[in-house]
Amino acid sequence: MSRSSHLFTSESVSEGHPDKVCDRISDEIVDAFFRLGPELGWDPAHLRVAAETLATTNRVVIAGETRGPAAITKDLLCHLARLAIRDIGYEQDGFHWDTADIAVHLHAQSVDIAAGVDASGNKDEGAGDQGIMFGYACRETPELMPAPIYYAHKILYDLAQARKSGREPLLGPDAKSQVTVAYENGVAKRAAQIVLSTQHADGLSSADVRKIVEPYIVAALPAGWVDESTVWHVNPTGKFVIGGPDGDAGLTGRKIIVDTYGGAAPHGGGAFSGKDPTKVDRSAAYAARYLAKNVVAAGLADRATIQLAYAIGVSDPLAVYVNLHGTGKVEEGKLEVALREVMRLSPRGIREHLQLNRPIYARTSAYGHFGRIPDAEGGFSWEKLDLVDALKTAVGA
């Protein structure tokens, strides 16, 4: 039984964090295939990308498997990686968009995997791997996300916007936040502890950095959440001049809890970035969030966790599990049946329903894949609330 009054903490990392630099580069590669592939005559359903990135001091290594037009060359992908690094803001001696050594080691997708995934004859498109994926939604924020991770993301996003706009030129790209939320009678009430570590220009003290960041942090949180009892930890090591991949090596896919629900809900284990939507690690996690959010928005529960399970090469999910955490207005078993009725949960069904074969992935690589606003280009389509009426009808609500 969960406690109604407690503390819960989630962390976020900025787009300049070494692992997030790698996520961004990997997702730029996915976007390149979905942007250029159709222009070069490829059916988007036939494109495949699984790109992993390593970054360290002035060096980037990209490896993995792809299927697509030969015109998407290694030189082009190197160029796109440099543009991503420049957009993040790295023009430092130890990591610079123009001088970094970038190596690309992408090769053709395994024919054995392709045989299981590709549609052929009467066989539908199969899942790109086995695994379990979770979606979650709750009423703690208007975006139906857990409060700790939502506000940890918002703090870093707002600081990044201030840095990139030129309002705060003394801040660097690499940063981490952590918010400990005090819950009273099950309701998120205030920030008990705030941690912010941010890369900065040489010569600033922790006190100097706090003067810069504190107004943004207070503005990012709900009114009244910061009070005299809130404990602050701003750059607690005292100095954070060397950052990004120069300070710590980065890898794609190492921030899966940051990417999802901040530990407030289960995670299946598979990372998202660098993967095309035949990889259910990504697409089915998006579908599970989409379903959970619509369940809560429909008033069928105040909290919802949905698990989907897949086998490689098999189209339909092996199982659908729903947990409404004692807040449901409908039987969970009935809802499990209804979810399959309102949305086809095969890789093809998810891809087509959410329109995932588009260049929409680089924008997901930092500040969370969930709790974002759907955009005009199709990004974050899994955050839409267009299943509410269908769900109510399916369960007779």
Per-residue pLDDT 10s for the chain (397 aa) are: 467 789 999 999 999 999 999 999 999 999 999 999 999 999 999 999 999 999 999 999 999 999 999 999 999 999 999 999 999 999 999 999 999 999 999 998 766 665 566 665 555 677 777 899 999 999 999 999 999 999 999 999 999 999 999 999 999 999 999 999 999 999 999 999 999 999 999 999 999 999 999 999 999 999 999 999 999 999 999 999 999 999 999 999 999 999 999 999 999 989 999 999 999 999 999 999 999 999 999 999 999 999 999 998 888 999 999 999 999 999 999 999 999 999 999 999 999 999 999 999 999 999 999 999 999 999 999 999 999 999 999 998 7
CA distance 64 to 32: 15
Same domain, 304 and 218: no
Is 273 inside any structural domain? Answer: no
Is 45 inside any structural domain? Answer: yes
What sign does the dihedral 87-13-131-289 (CA atoms) show? negative
Query: Count of domains in the chain?
Result: 3
CA distance 57 to 312: 37
Catalytically active residues, by annotation: 17, 19-20, 52, 65, 176, 240, 248-249, 254-255, 275, 279, 281
**DSSP strand pairing (319-323 vs 95-96):** unpaired
Is 369 inside any structural domain? Answer: yes
Q: Under a CB-based contact definition with an 8 Å cutoff, are residues 72 and 30 in contact?
A: no
* Coil, strand or helix at 324: coil
Is 248 inside any structural domain? Answer: no
Q: Under a CB-based contact definition with an 8 Å cutoff, are residues 177 and 150 in contact?
A: no
Same domain, 88 and 180: no
CA distance 307 to 312: 17
Exposed, middle or buried: residue 272 (CB in 10 Å: 0-12, 13-18, 19+)?
A: buried
Nearest partner of 257 among 152, 180, 359, judged by Cα = 152
Q: Which of 183, 218, 243 is the last residue of a domain?
A: 243
Same domain, 228 and 289: no
Q: Under a CB-based contact definition with an 8 Å cutoff, are residues 274 and 64 in contact?
A: yes
* Cα 259 to the center of its chain, rounded Å: 4
Max CA distance (Å), the chain: 67
Is 60 inside any structural domain? Answer: yes
pTM: 0.95
Nearest partner of 44 among 286, 343, 355, judged by Cα = 355
Q: Which of 243, 270, 295 is the last residue of a domain?
A: 243
Exposed, middle or buried: residue 137 (CB in 10 Å: 0-12, 13-18, 19+)?
A: buried
Same domain, 108 and 160: no
Same domain, 204 and 110: no
Same domain, 297 and 372: yes
Is 232 inside any structural domain? Answer: yes
Same domain, 239 and 293: no
CA distance 13 to 197: 9
Nearest partner of 16 among 155, 157, 150, judged by Cα = 157
Q: Which residues pair with 134 in a beta bridge?
A: 307
Write the pLDDT tens digit of every residue in 287-296.
999 999 999 9
Is 183 inside any structural domain? Answer: yes
Q: Provide the residue range defining the domain that includes 297.
A: 131-138+280-395
| pLDDT of amino acid 125 | 75
Is 272 inside any structural domain? Answer: no
Same domain, 102 and 187: no
* Coil, strand or helix at 292: helix
Q: Which of 243, 264, 294 is the last residue of a domain?
A: 243
| pLDDT of amino acid 4 | 77
CA distance 179 to 147: 9
CA distance 141 to 84: 31
**DSSP strand pairing (303-310 vs 91-92):** unpaired
CATH label of the domain that carries residue 332: 3.30.300.10
Length, in residues, of the chain: 397
Report which DSSP code applies to 363: G
Radius of gyration of the chain (CA): 21
**DSSP strand pairing (303-310 vs 319-323):** antiparallel
- Please state the φ and ψ torsions of residue 341, each to the nearest 5 degrees: -80, -35
